[in-house]
Structure 1
């Protein structure tokens, strides 16, 4: 586990990347931005690197979309590849010491969609923020799990 500080949560989609950010204490996740995916120029990966520096992020958590049976299908392989690409950009840009961690994200987009619908956000408005909301779900679940594990990964 990385030192305490801000953590960035990332929901990787085929078209967009949702990004969430924790508070400095690593307790609460909030939406930050939605980036357009660009597999040609990697501008989304460059922007993530900039966000890491700007917010003094100590760890990046990328959602791993496993199937309900816990298997890794094409979406999970794409997320793993994205995390590898992010690490490569970190290396190229001199960002060292910021781990990129994978976190199970089963049903986060479904949960985020329901939450947005419950709040009256529907249609086009929902499409603009669903990726950020999913990133918040991924990051908040990861933060809660880290806290419940206690110091050095031991049970409380």
Structure 2
């Protein structure tokens, strides 16, 4: 398996490369991109979830076009932090994708990311249910990726001091 510690992944990332954040839901895989300076995550798109082989070419095209150097995949831990079947499935899926794309990857806790994003889209953006359904997966991926960017950047700054 090609899964790294979150901080080791940041250190292993080639300069100028971006990170692709993945929120693998049961129907849609939400995608987000970091900027090259690893400061900001932005929603990218959602891909219909299919078998890995059927999705692989789409992922490879995105990796080439967006100069992706690593993957950060959401890890759906239980609310109590437990590692259940959904977390195991996400770990296996992320490892398989990373191996097939020959990219380093890590898992990042994504508990409540969809809930937080939905709450924001309702209260702050006043989006309809239909419009929320169209954007929630990619925005949740950006929320999760931003968490990884912030945490690893803060750790990097602490170790430099």
Q: TM-score range by the shorter chain?
A: 0.7 to 0.9
Aligned length in residues: 148
> Does residue 99 of the first structure (1) align with residue 111 of the second (2)?
no
Residue 128 of structure 1 deviates from its aligned partner by: 1.0
Alignment-derived partner of residue 86 in structure 2? 75
Q: State which of 48, 51, 54 in structure 1 corresponds to 2:59.
A: 48
5+ residue gaps, structure 2 = 1-10
Taking the aligned partners of 2:35 and 2:76, their CA distance within structure 1 comes to 24
Are residue 6 (structure 1) and residue 23 (structure 2) matched?
no
Q: Please say if residues 31 and 136 of structure 1, whose CA atoms lie closer than 8 Å, have aligned partners that are also in contact.
A: yes
8 Å CA contact 1:148–1:155 kept in 2: the answer is no
**2:21 touches 2:31 (CA, 8 Å); kept in 1?**
yes
Matched, 1:142 2:148: yes
Matched, 1:30 2:35: no
| 1:18 partnered with 2:30 | yes
- TM-score, structure 1 length as denominator? 0.87
Q: For the residues of structure 1 that align with 2:84 and 2:134, how far apart are their CA atoms?
A: 26
Rounded to whole Å, the distance in 1 between the matches of 2:126 and 2:80 is 32
TM-score, length-scaled by structure 2: 0.84
